[in-house]
Amino acid sequence: MRDLYELLGVSRDASADEIKKAYRRLAHKYHPDKNPDPAAEERFKEASMAYEILSNPEQRKKYDRLGAAAFGARGAGPGGGVPPNFGDVFSEIFGDFFGRREKREKKRGRDRSYSLAVDFRTAVFGGEQLIDVMRTQPCRDCSGTGAEPGTAPQLCHACGGSGEIKVQQGLFSVSKRCAYCKGRGRIIRKKCKSCDGAGIVDRKAQLKVRVPAGASEGTVVRYAGEGEPGLNGGPAGDLRVVLQVAAHPIFKRDGADIQIELPVSFRDAVLGAQLVVPTLEGKVKMQLPPGTQSGRVFRLRGKGAPRLDGGERGDQHVTVVVETPQLREHERSLVDALADLDDDAHLPRRAAFWREADKG
């Protein structure tokens, strides 16, 4: 390692003031914020290490007596680079010295979440619904000052209202947040009872939520700025309204399609009939062909739900369920009269089933 006095460009009998001036000159010349040359950055680090040792009378005596070996293999602290705590000193001194004073970071407020129950039809066709939300507003009692009504915040005597105090760090003065007023610059002697000195309160307000047509379970409607307030002047978060769709006793959703099961009589299934089918927009007629089997699905085009993306509406799928009649005793003979129909010629699906089953 080069001689520390040589790094600073001073003689071995240089005074503390001469060492300080030499280092100040080199810091201005080689600091990375002033000089982008990579070689300059290395030169700056060397000068900083030299100053850290030579500006301390005890370390300077040790260096004069033992040389670089007194500070490790590379002439510094146990890590072999710069003194152990120099990184903290460096960032504190030069961050402020070159105009990079730490500022309180603005932070976006957190999002709020609200679960909103909507009925089946509102989710399908859309609608509006009022909900109660909490909004952060300036306290009315203290007009947002945080001080008890009739009083006012006082100027912080520690920082003079700036929210910062200057601390001497070696050559330079470092600005830090005032611990007495916590950076606010004001002291509240008597806090407002309504807001406990915060100057803001949460109040209940009503928000009109627009449920989009085609919404389904879990659809999220977002409202910007209706969440929690930001920190240090940052923007407020959002309100996420999560829809919970109530079940319908007849209709079921499958994306944009609507599913229903339609009970039909044995007679209508055998002979065919024109049936009335309920849809979300009223009743429509559907032709049931003769010999319709239970489980057959019919499609009513365009009778489903709208799509959130604005595409074509879905369809309604009607599943026929042939209902077996519940007979009274004297009605059983009517069914027995149909025994001639209980053969393979009249029941082809049953016949096909047993042919396959008998194959093993």
Span 221-244, average pLDDT: 89
For residue 89 the two structure tokens come to: 């000193």
Query: Residue 78: what pLDDT?
Result: 35
Per-residue pLDDT tens digits for 323-360: 988 888 888 888 888 777 878 788 888 888 888 888 86
Helix axes 38-54 and 57-66, enclosed angle (nearest 10): 100
**Main-chain phi, psi angles of 282, to 5 degrees:** 120, 180
What percent of the chain is predicted at pLDDT more than 70?
85
Neighbour-count burial of 157, counting CB atoms closer than 10 A to its CB (0-12 exposed, 13-18 middle, 19+ buried): exposed
Q: What is the pLDDT of residues 42-93, one digit of tens each?
A: 887 888 888 888 888 888 888 888 877 776 534 444 333 444 344 443 444 4
Question: Looking at the predicted structure, is the pLDDT value of residue 18 above 50?
Answer: yes
Indicate the pTM of the whole model: 0.58
Q: Which domains does the chain have, with CATH numbers?
A: 4-97 (1.10.287.110), 105-142+199-247 (2.60.260.20), 252-335 (2.60.260.20)
Higher pLDDT, 322 or 70: 322
Residue 301: its pLDDT value, please? 96
Percent of the chain residues topping a pLDDT of 90: 36
265 or 71, greater pLDDT: 265
Please state whether beta strands 154-155 and 220-223 pair in parallel, antiparallel, or not at all (unpaired).
Answer: unpaired
Q: 134 vs 89, which has greater pLDDT?
A: 134
Tokens read off for 132: 């109660």
Q: What is the pLDDT of residue 74?
A: 42
Among candidate residues 130, 113, 300, 304, the one with its CA nearest the CA of residue 206: 130
Higher pLDDT, 170 or 60: 60
